[in-house]
């Protein structure tokens, strides 16, 4: 579990200290493949700046994360078949990395509600 900016896994990916398979990048966001994919497409989109959870993002940065997520859905070829964006938040939400990230999931039928 990661919970401080100094020891943050995703900040270290942004800094290039930990390798990741990057699929998209903007000035303010980075998208890379999840190391343990739960669907044929499973990409994480993060703001480059450290924020703990979705509620800590200002609306402009939140919009930039969403725009990158949609770009990823298009480049992954799942925008027509459909996809799911998920922000796990806090303990009950199943958040394990406390640098806000948007899961982009697609490429198969996704069950609802999640377990």
Options 34-42, 47-55, 57-65, 74-82: segment touching ligand 5GP (CB under 6 A): 34-42
Instruction: Tell me: does residue 8 bind Zn ion (CB under 5 A).
Output: yes
Residue 69 contact partner, candidates Zn ion, ligand 5GP, none, CB within 5 to 8 A by sort of partner: none
User: In the block, which residue shows the tokens 């925008």?
Assistant: 79
Options 26-34, 65-73, 76-84, 105-113: segment touching ligand 5GP (CB under 6 A): 26-34
Q: Rounded CA gap, 14 and 78, in Å? A: 25
- Pick the closest to residue 46 from 7, 81, 18, 87 (CA basis): 87
CA 103 to chain centre: 4
Any idea what DSSP says for residue 88? -
Residues that bind ligand 5GP (CB under 6 A): 9, 18, 20, 32-36, 44, 88, 94-97
């Amino acid at each position: 579990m990661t919970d401080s900016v100094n020891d943050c896994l995703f900040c270290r990916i942004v800094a290039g200290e930990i390798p990741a398979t990057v699929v998209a990048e903007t000035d303010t966001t980075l998208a890379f493949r999840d190391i343990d994919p739960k669907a044929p497409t499973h990409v994480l989109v993060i703001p480059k700046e450290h924020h703990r959870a979705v509620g800590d993002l200002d609306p402009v940065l939140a919009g930039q994360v969403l725009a990158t997520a949609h770009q990823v859905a298009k480049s992954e070829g799942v925008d027509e078949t459909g996809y799911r964006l998920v922000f796990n938040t806090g303990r009950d939400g199943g958040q394990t990395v406390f640098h806000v990230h948007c899961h982009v999931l697609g490429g198969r039928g996704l069950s609802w509600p999640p377990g």
